[in-house]
Each structure stands twice: as structure tokens, then as C-alpha cells.
Structure 1
Amino acid sequence: MVALLDLPIPGNIIGMLLLFILLVTGVVKLEWIFDVSNFLLTHLAFFFVPFAVGVMTFGELFLQSGWTIVLLLLISIFIGMTFTGLTAQLVMKGRKNKDDRESYPHNN
């Protein structure tokens, strides 16, 4: 899709956005992907092994710019966690409002 549309965004980001949109719209049910996503989250550490091995080849770069890289990583982590938390709160608030509306009897 990225190559076809010549998008400047990585394919994995597009995939996550598409999955999010499909989950929010109800096209894909959470129950359909829950077991697989839970398995992947359980074994998430294994996905970082290739990354860690690749980072070892950049020892000279870390010696020169290590503190800058660490600072940028911390800022990125903070931004990612903040937006993830805010998104989760919005989704939970929307789910709670939907549950509240469904629990009250309607006068017709």
C-alpha cells in the first residue's frame, strides 16, 4: 500500500492505523485478534533481539553521541506513552458512555 500510493510513512505504521480504524468501526472485532495479540505481547521481548544485536554494531556512534541518543529516546518514550495513555482514556471514556446509554431505558 505504501509503495502503491508512494506514501512517506512506514508500512507498519499504516498497518497499525488501518487496524485501529477497523477496530473502532467494528469491521474487525476485538475477539478475533485478542488471542494472537496477547501471544505477541507476551513474547514481545523476543522481537527486540535483532534490534539489540544491530545496535551493537554502532558502538563508535554511541561513544560519540550517546547522551544525545539517550535523551532523544527518553523524549520519544515520554511522547509515545503520553499519546498512548490519552488514546486509551478516550477509548475507555467512549466505551463507558456507550455502555451508559445502552443501560438506560428509552421512552418511545
Structure 2
Amino acid sequence: MKNSAKFLFQLSILIVIYLIGSFTVKYLHLQIPGNVLGIVILLFLLWSGVIKVEQIEWAAGWLLRHLGFFFIPISVGLMTLGNIVKVNGWILLSILFVSAFIGIIAAGKITQTVIVKSEKEKVKYHDHAL
């Protein structure tokens, strides 16, 4: 029973942050989705230490494990947009390829930077140990 209450409390924190983002977008007439603003708010709250990772970790982990399930309505909705995909599909596909390429390049460069920095620290530590 205690675990259920903890999970529901963590889930309610995430839902409240989502609702704050959605209401803010609605009332300020912002041109971004409310869930995106909610994620930015969550990032700020985590970064500032107002919310600790431990306070949402269990519910967030559960949501991430079941993320594929949440895409089913989106996939079904895309089926109704067949004409748009027929006409503008090449543009969408181009955007997907370019964004994937940028993501792969960025991840590779960051990984290389971390590896080089790690190797330099190992050499520096090894030189000081001798």
C-alpha cells in the first residue's frame, strides 16, 4: 500500500507540472505545446533543486518503460493524414533524415570529447602517481 501511495504521489507531481505547462500555454497563447513547456518547467525545477530526482524517479521510470504505448493514439491519428503524407511526405522524410544525421553527429562529437578528456585525465593521474 505504501508503494502505491508513493507511486501515485510521484505521478501526481508529474501531472501537476504537465497541467501547469498546458494552462500556461493556453492562457498566454504561446505557440508551443503545453507538454513541451511542462518538460522545460520540470527541467528547471530539477536543475534548481526544488524537485529532487528521487521524488519523481519511480513514476518517471514507469512512464518511460511504457512510452511505446503512449504513441499508439498518435500512430492511429497519422492514418487519417494520408493525403498530407502523399503530398508532403518527401519533406517530412527529409526533415527526419537531417535531424537524425545532426543527432548522430552531435552524439558522436560529444562522445569523442568525453573520451579524449577522460584519456587526458588518466594520463595526468598516471603521471602524478609516478
Normalised to the residue count of structure 1, the TM-score between the two structures is 0.65
Distance 1:81 1:16 in 2: 23
How far does residue 2 in structure 1 lie from its aligned partner after superposition?
A: 1.8
Residue 10 (structure 1) aligns with: 33
Tell me what 2:56 maps to: 33
User: Corresponding residue for 1:69?
Assistant: 92
User: Which has the larger helix fraction?
Assistant: 2
2-structure distance, mates of 1:68, 1:10: 22
Measure, in 1, the Cα distance between the counterparts of 2:42 and 2:103.
18
CA displacement, residues 15-64 of structure 1 (integer Å, 9 cap, x when unaligned): 11110000001000000111111111100101110111111112222222
Q: Which moved more, 1:70-79 or 1:16-25?
A: 70-79
What is the number of equivalent residue pairs in this alignment? 86
Task: Report the CA distance between 1:13 and its aligned residue.
Answer: 1.4
Quote the residue 1:42 is aligned against: 65
Gaps of 5+ in 1: 90-108
Aligned to 2:82: 59
- Partner of 1:95 in structure 2? none
- Secondary structure of the 1:27 match is coil
- SS of residue in 1 equivalent to 2:32: coil
| Structure 1 residue 65: Cα displacement | 2.4
The TM-score normalised by the length of structure 2 is 0.55
Structure with greater contact order relative to length (CA < 8 Å, sep ≥ 6):
2
CA RMSD of aligned residues (A): 2.5
**Structure 2 stretches lacking a partner, 5+ long:** 1-23, 112-130
AA of the residue aligned to 1:50 = P
- Which of 1 and 2 has greater Rg? 2
Of all paired residues, the percent bearing the same amino acid is 42
